[in-house]
Amino acid sequence: MKFEREEVEYLLFEDETLLERAHYYKGDNVGYVTYLRGLIELSNECIKNCLYCGIRRENEKAVRYSLTDEQVLEAARYAYENRYGSIALQAGERVSGDYVKRITELVKKIKQMSGGSLGITLSLGEQTKEVYHQWKKAGADRYLLRIETSNPELYTKIHPNDPLHTFEKRIKALEDLRETGYQVGTGVMIGLPFQTKKDLVDDLFFMKKMDIDMCGMGPYLEHRDTPLYEFRDLLWTQRERFEMTLRMVATLRLMMPKINIAATTALQAIDPVGREKALWAGANVIMPNITPVTTRASYKLYENKPVSEDCLDVQEKSLFERIISTGDEIGFGEQGNSLHYKFRKKPNNG
C-alpha cells in the first residue's frame, strides 16, 4: 500500500487510535505471536567512537570484556535447550582478520550444535561484503545494522567527522547486506538531540524505501560519559521519547505489515513493561538477554540499562508471563523469520 506523507504524519502525531489499530493489524498480518532471540553480548570492545554510545572507543571508564568461545557456546546452548528458536550475537565493532575468523567459527559451531535449527542474527557493525558473505555461508541468517537516523546532517552531528563514521558507508553496508542475501534489519534512535518530528517521518519512509525485513528502534538514552551528554537540555523527556517510540513502532507496523519489529531493551530502561507495551502495539520480536550475568553490567550503551541479577530461569518466567498477558503466544522452537523476506524472495507465495 502506498502511504502519503500527510497520512503518516496524521498517524504518527495525531491519531488517538493508532496503537489499537496497529494491535489489530499485527494480528491480521503476522499473528499474535512473539518470537524470541536470545541476545548474547559478545564483547564491548569497539573501534568506533559514536558520540552517543557508552562503549565508544574513547570512553576510558568502560571496563572492557570479551566472552570466551565457551561462554558464547554455552549461552547458545541455553537458548537451544530452552526452545528460543533464534539467537542474536551483538558486540562493538571490530574488523581484524582474527576476529572475523573467530565469528565464522562460532557461527558454524552454533549452527552445528543445534542441528541447523537455531536462527542466527548478527549485529556486529559495518564489515566488508566479503565478510558478510563469509558469515552468511557459515550459517548466519539475519543482520541488524541501524541507520541511527536517516537524516545525513543529523548523522554527522551524532558521529565523529571521519572516514570511519560516514552516512554513505552505512547505506552501502545496508545495500551489501541485502545483496548478500540476509534478512536485513535496520532502525533508528528516537528523541536524539537536534532530531525533529520531520526526521522521524523521514525515518519511516526510509525504512519503507529500503524495503527492510526487520526493524529495531528505541528511544535515545543519554549516557554521561559521552560527548552527546552535553546536549541533554535539548532532549524530550524520557516519557515523551518512550511514547514516540511506541507510535513509531505502531505506524511502521501499518506501513510494513509483514516485517519483524523488535520490542527493544531501551524501552524497558524507561518503563519496566515498556517492551510488552510495544508488543501490544505492533512489535513481534523480543530479545531476552542471555549473556552471562557477570559481564552484563559492562555492556552499557546507555544509562539505566536494565541488568537483572536473577538467574535466567526466574527472569524468563516473569517475562514470558508478561508477554502472554499482552495476548500473544510465544513462538517457542520457531525461528520466526521475517514474512516480508519470505514473500520478497518468493513473490508468488504471498
What's at 294, amino acid-wise?
Answer: T
How many residues lie near ligand SAH (CB under 6 A)?
A: 18
**Beta-carbon neighbour count of residue 349 at 10 Å?**
8
Q: How far is the CB of 204 from ligand SF4 (least distance, A)?
A: 21
Q: Give 53 or 278: the residue with its C-beta nearer to ligand SF4.
A: 53
Beta carbon nearer to ligand SF4, 48 or 253: 48
Helix spans in the chain (H): 5-13, 18-29, 69-81, 97-113, 129-138, 152-157, 167-180, 197-209, 238-255, 265-270, 274-280, 293-296, 312-325, 339-345
Interaction partner, residue 201 (ligand SF4, ligand SAH, none; CB < 5-8 Å by kind): none
Nearer to ligand SAH, 83 or 146 (CB): 146
> Which lies closer to ligand SAH via its Cβ, residue 228 or residue 254?
228
Q: Which residues make up the interface to ligand SF4 (CB under 6 A)? A: 46, 48, 50, 53, 55-56, 92-93, 125, 301
Residue among 262 and 339 whose Cβ is closer to ligand SAH: 262
Query: What span, in angstroms and rounded, lies between the C-alpha atoms of 289 and 308?
Result: 9
Residue 56's binding partner, choosing from ligand SF4, ligand SAH, none, with beta-carbon cut-off 5 to 8 A by kind? ligand SF4
Q: Is the Cβ of residue 111 or residue 223 nearer to ligand SAH in the bound state?
A: 223
- Give me 23's grid cell: 494491535
The yes or no reply on residue 266 touching ligand SAH (CB under 6 A) is: yes
- Measured from the CB of residue 228, what is the shortest distance to ligand SF4 in angstroms? 11
In the complex, least distance from residue 18 CB atom to ligand SAH, rounded to whole angstroms: 23
Q: Is 93 in the site for ligand SAH (CB under 6 A)?
A: yes
CB 249 within 8 A of CB 261: yes
Sign of CA dihedral 147, 90, 182, 32: negative
Residue 185 touches ligand SAH, criterion: CB under 6 A: no
| Shortest Å, Cβ 144 to ligand SAH | 7
Q: Which residues pair with 183 in a beta bridge?
A: 142
Rounded CA gap, 51 and 75, in Å?
30
Q: CA nearest 78: which of 312, 320, 241?
A: 312
Asked if 195 touches ligand SAH (CB under 6 A), the answer is no
Provide the minimum distance between the beta carbon of 53 and ligand SF4 in the complex, in angstroms, as a whole number. Answer: 3
Residue 333's binding partner, choosing from ligand SAH, ligand SF4, none, with beta-carbon cut-off 5 to 8 A by kind? none
C-alpha to C-alpha distance for 180 and 178, rounded to whole angstroms = 5
Please report how the helices 238-255 and 18-29 are oriented relative to each other, as an axis angle in degrees rounded to 10.
40
- Alpha-carbon distance of 274 to 301, in angstroms, equals 18
Residues interacting with ligand SAH, by CB under 6 A?
Answer: 52-53, 90, 92-93, 123, 125, 145-146, 148, 189, 218, 220-221, 223, 266, 301-302
